[in-house]
């Protein structure tokens, strides 16, 4: 009985100490938890960071910002860094979901292209967010499946030759934005009449040709020959097609009228458990020779960090001028409900 009492008392002391000093329950305090888009994090970059900072990086992924936002807003804990698009950065700042960066750690801030910062009206001084990349969506045609000329704007989605072999992103701002641009309107328009016109264009002319709306897996279907026409991020297609087949298979273009673009930004969550390590990672990414690893992996034009261009070893999938001509999706505030309601009609109406 005396031994039992001693064991019980020892257990109580251990439990109390762990409650007072939570770090004693955390065996792995050198692990950075990164939540990023699918297909968007070079493995080589992570391994170099782990080696230099004697830590581990755990990566989780999402296919849309809506998915990421819903998970974090819904109470998911443990993530240190998220990489939302600029419109969601604005939303998350306004809702108090992000923690200010440690500016003393951001020694590579001079590497960030000032042209990109000028586009970020919500946080031009990088108080909460540091640009990761400017990414633009465009149109990809499988040249092995279609002969002859085709429209090089969004009207291509009404071309009956692509019926049953076309897809657009499962992302309302992307698809509705393309329709608004095709009609000659502002991609961020909140005019109900213009939005209704855009919705009718999608429902009556584009959707009948689409297999589905797909934000993540269309690259595999393009590579297999099932999809001949896709709207989306080019790296998803280029990542599935062998490089030796790129020239003969993929025709990627951004229409002259432009297209949707985002500046994805590295942000630290309000309750990030590894704040210091998160700041180190953000600064590490923009070391020019490190950022070049990201550019080489995905073939983006090197526009967020111009100094990295000297270390890049492969050509970009598209040129920087095309990226600069695109329109950033903006935070629409409560007017986003107009898009949500329209998107429900587009996705689920007969």
* Per-residue pLDDT tens over the stretch 104-144: 999 999 999 999 999 898 899 999 999 999 989 999 999 99
Contact 34, 80 (CB under 8 A): yes
pLDDT of res. 19: 41
Task: Please list, residue by residue across 210-248, b when 16 or more beta carbons sit within 10 angstroms of its beta carbon and e when fewer do.
Answer: bbebbbbebbbbbbeeebbbbbbbbbbbbebbeeeeeee
- Specify the 3-state DSSP secondary structure of 44: helix
Share of the chain above pLDDT 70, in %: 92
pLDDT digits (tens, 9 = 90+) for 39-50: 899 999 999 999
Average pLDDT for residues 212-233, to the nearest whole number?
94
pLDDT surpasses 70 at 8: no
Least confident residue range of 8-22, 57-71, 257-271: 8-22
SS3 254: coil
Q: Which residue has the higher pLDDT, 298 or 304?
A: 304
Summary count for the chain: helices (H), strands (E):
14, 12
pLDDT tens for each residue of 192-216:
999 999 999 999 999 999 999 998 8
> Quick check: 304 pLDDT over 50?
yes
The answer to whether 42 touches 133, Cβ cutoff 8 Å, is: no
Q: By the 8 A CB rule, do 227 and 91 touch?
A: no
Mean pLDDT of 265-292: 98
pLDDT at 54 over 90: yes
The model carries a pTM of: 0.79
Instruction: Tell me the pLDDT band of 319, cut-offs 50, 70 and 90.
Output: confident
The greatest distance separating any two alpha carbons of the chain, rounded to the nearest whole angstrom, comes to 91
Weakest-pLDDT range from 55-59, 91-95, 249-253, 298-302 = 298-302
**Predicted pLDDT of residue 23:** 37
Note whether 152 and 279 are within 8 A (CB): no
> Does residue 157 surpass a pLDDT of 70?
yes
pLDDT classification of 29: cutoffs 50, 70, 90: confident
Average pLDDT over residues 284-301: 95
Integer angstrom CA distances of residue 304 from 109, 295, 340:
11, 10, 31
pLDDT at 345 over 90: yes
Q: Give me the pLDDT at residue 350, please.
A: 58
């Amino acid at each position: 009985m005396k031994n039992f009492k001693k064991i019980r008392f020892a257990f109580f002391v251990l439990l109390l100490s762990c409650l007072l000093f939570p770090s004693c329950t955390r065996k792995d305090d050198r692990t950075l938890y990164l939540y990023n888009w699918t297909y968007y994090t070079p493995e080589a970059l992570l391994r170099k960071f782990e080696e230099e900072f004697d830590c581990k990086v755990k990566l989780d992924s999402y296919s849309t910002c809506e998915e990421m936002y819903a998970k974090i807003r819904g109470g998911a804990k443990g993530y240190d860094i998220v990489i939302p698009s600029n419109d969601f950065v604005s939303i998350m700042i306004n809702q108090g979901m992000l923690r200010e960066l440690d500016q003393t750690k951001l020694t590579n801030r001079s590497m960030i292209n000032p042209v990109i910062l000028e586009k970020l009206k919500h946080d031009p001084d990088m108080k909460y967010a540091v640009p990761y990349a400017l990414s633009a969506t465009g149109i990809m045609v499988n040249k092995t499946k279609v002969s002859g000329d085709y429209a090089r704007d969004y009207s291509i989605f009404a071309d009956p030759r692509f019926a049953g072999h076309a897809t657009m992103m499962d992302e309302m701002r992307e698809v509705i934005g393309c329709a608004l641009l095709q009609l000659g309107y502002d991609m961020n328009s909140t005019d109900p009449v213009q939005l209704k016109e855009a919705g009718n264009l999608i429902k009556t002319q584009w959707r009948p040709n689409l297999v589905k709306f797909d934000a993540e897996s269309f690259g595999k279907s393009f590579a297999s020959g099932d999809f001949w026409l896709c709207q989306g991020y080019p790296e998803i297609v280029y990542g599935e097609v062998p490089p030796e087949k790129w020239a003969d298979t993929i025709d990627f273009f951004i229409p002259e009228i432009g297209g949707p673009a985002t500046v994805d930004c590295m942000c630290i969550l309000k309750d990030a458990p590894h704040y210091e390590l998160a700041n180190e990672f953000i600064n590490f990414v923009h070391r020019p020779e490190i950022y070049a690893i990201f550019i080489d992996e995905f073939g983006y034009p090197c526009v967020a960090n111009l100094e990295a261009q000297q270390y890049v070893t492969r050509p970009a999938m598209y040129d920087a001028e095309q990226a600069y001509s695109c329109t950033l999706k903006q935070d629409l505030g409560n007017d986003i409900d107009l898009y949500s309601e329209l998107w429900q009609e587009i996705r689920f109406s007969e």
